[in-house]
Amino acid sequence: GAVVSQHPSRVICKSGTSVKIECRSLDFQATTMFWYRQFPKQSLMLMATSNEGSKATYEQGVEKDKFLINHASLTLSTLTVTSAHPEDSSFYICSASTPDGLLRFGQGTRLTVV
């Protein structure tokens, strides 16, 4: 079946540095990918919609200059957390829509900023 691969699965970085998270659709092309964020014991919150070849669409309250999204190909979207701070520590999850309209999710990335 359609697989979405996310890397890395966990990362620890120092405050003030930037971290890049990759999301790949392994066996299908995805013109649209979505990035979610999840805090402990809470549900997933949509951060942004990533469109191949164009600018991402951010949800209200999400800083586009802090969470840079690039969707340069039909199989890869990246989320870069710039100048990370401890409050950015969270579980980040990407998803992509398969050709038959199902949304498949990556394994998630646990980001810890120290």
Contact residues for another protein, defined by CB under 8 A: 4, 6, 30-32, 34, 36, 43-46, 49, 91, 93, 95, 97, 99-108, 110
Q: How far is the CB of 102 from another protein (least distance, A)?
A: 6
Residue 2 per-residue DSSP state: -
Q: How far is the CB of 20 from another protein (least distance, A)?
A: 18
- By beta-carbon proximity to another protein, the closer residue of 84 and 95 is 95
Q: How far is the CB of 64 from another protein (least distance, A)?
A: 17
How far lies 29's CA from each of 35, 77, 86, 102, in Å?
17, 11, 34, 13
- By beta-carbon proximity to another protein, the closer residue of 84 and 93 is 93
User: What is d(CA 88, CA 86) in angstroms, rounded to the nearest whole number?
Assistant: 5
- By beta-carbon proximity to another protein, the closer residue of 10 and 17 is 10
